[in-house]
Structure 1
Amino acid sequence: MTTNDMDPIKLTLRGSPRETHGQIGLQHGRALRDQIRSQIGIYDTMFQHTSKLSWPEVRAVAKEFQPSLQELVPDIYTEMQGVADGADLDILDIVALNCRSEIALGKFSDGCTTLSWKKSDETRILSQNWDWTATVKKNLAMVSIEQAGKPTIYMVAEAGIVGKIGFNSAGVGTCLNAIRAKPMISSKLPIHVALRLCLESISVNDAVQTLESLGGVASAQHILVADSTKALGLELSPVGNIYLAEDASGLIPHSNHFIENSYVDEPLWLLGSPIRLARIKYLAQELISHGVHGDTITPALLREKIFSDTYNAPQAICCQEDESRHISTRSSSLFNIVMDLNSKNPSAEVVFGRVGSGEEGPVLKMPWV
Structure 2
Amino acid sequence: MSFSHFPKKLVLKGTPKEIGFEHGNLLSSEIKDQMKIYNAMFQSTSSLTWTEVHEIAKEFQVTIQKLTPDIYDEMVGIAEGAGVDILDIIALNCRSEIALGRFTDGCTSLGWKMQGKDVEGKMVLAQNWDWTENVQKNLAMVEIERKGNEKIWMVTEAGIVGKIGFNSAGVGVCLNAIRARPTHTYELPIHIALRICLESDSVEKAVGSIEELGGVASSQHILIADPNRTLSMELSPVGNCFLEPCDDGFVAHTNHFIKNELVSEPFWLKGSPVRLERANILVSELIKDMRNGLQINNDIGHILRERLFSDTFNAPQAICCQEDPECPKETRNSTLFNIVMRLEAGNSTAEVLFGKPGVTNGEVLKMPWV
Superposition TM-score, scaled by structure 1 size: 0.95
Q: Find 1:321's aligned residue among 300, 318, 323.
A: 323
- Change in Cα spacing, 1:330 to 1:360, as seen in structure 2 (3 Å) is farther
- 2:359 paired with 1:364: no
Q: Find 1:81's aligned residue among 72, 76, 79.
A: 76
Q: Which ranges in structure 1 are unaligned for 5 or more consecutive residues?
A: none
On the 8 A contact 2:350/2:366 being kept in 1, the answer is yes
CA-to-aligned-CA distance 1:305-352 (integer Å, 9 cap, x gap): 000000000000000001121211000000000000011410000000
AA partner of residue 59 (structure 1)? H
Q: Which ranges in structure 2 are unaligned for 5 or more consecutive residues?
A: none
Q: CA deviation at 1:294?
A: 6.8
Q: Find 2:23's aligned residue among 5, 28, 35.
A: 28
Q: CA deviation at 1:119?
A: 2.1
Give the aligned length.
360
Q: Separation in 1 of the partners of 2:84 and 2:288?
A: 54
Q: Separation in 2 of the partners of 1:326 and 1:212?
A: 36
Q: Separation in 2 of the partners of 1:293 and 1:212?
A: 41
Q: Separation in 2 of the partners of 1:360 and 1:246?
A: 33
On the 8 A contact 1:180/1:220 being kept in 2, the answer is yes
- 2:143 paired with 1:141: no
- Change in Cα spacing, 1:64 to 1:280, as seen in structure 2 (3 Å) is same
- Change in Cα spacing, 1:111 to 1:302, as seen in structure 2 (3 Å) is same
Q: Separation in 1 of the partners of 2:78 and 2:346?
A: 32
Q: Separation in 2 of the partners of 1:77 and 1:42?
A: 23
Superposition TM-score, scaled by structure 2 size: 0.95
Q: Separation in 2 of the partners of 1:302 and 1:317?
A: 12
Larger RCO: Structure 1 or Structure 2 (Cα < 8 Å, ≥ 6 residues apart)?
Answer: 2
- Change in Cα spacing, 1:293 to 1:110, as seen in structure 2 (3 Å) is farther
Q: Separation in 2 of the partners of 1:169 and 1:301?
A: 25
Q: Report what 2:37 is aligned to.
A: 42
Q: Percent identity among equivalent residues?
A: 59
Q: Separation in 2 of the partners of 1:185 and 1:219?
A: 7
On the 8 A contact 2:58/2:87 being kept in 1, the answer is yes
- Worse overlay, 35-44 or 337-346: 337-346
Q: Find 1:352's aligned residue among 350, 354, 358.
A: 354
Q: CA deviation at 1:6?
A: 5.5
Q: Separation in 2 of the partners of 1:188 and 1:294?
A: 42
- Worse overlay, 122-131 or 171-180: 122-131
User: Helix, strand or coil for the counterpart of 1:193?
Assistant: helix
Q: CA deviation at 1:361?
A: 2.5
CA-to-aligned-CA distance 1:228-284 (integer Å, 9 cap, x gap): 001100100010000111110101100000000011111211000000000000000
Q: Separation in 1 of the partners of 2:258 and 2:77?
A: 38
Q: Report what 1:244 is aligned to.
A: 243
On the 8 A contact 1:352/1:360 being kept in 2, the answer is no
Q: How do 1:1-369 residues align onto structure 2 when only pairs under 5 Å count? A: 7-15=6-14, 20-119=15-114, 122-291=121-290, 295=297, 298-357=300-359, 359-369=360-370
Q: Separation in 2 of the partners of 1:347 and 1:212?
A: 28
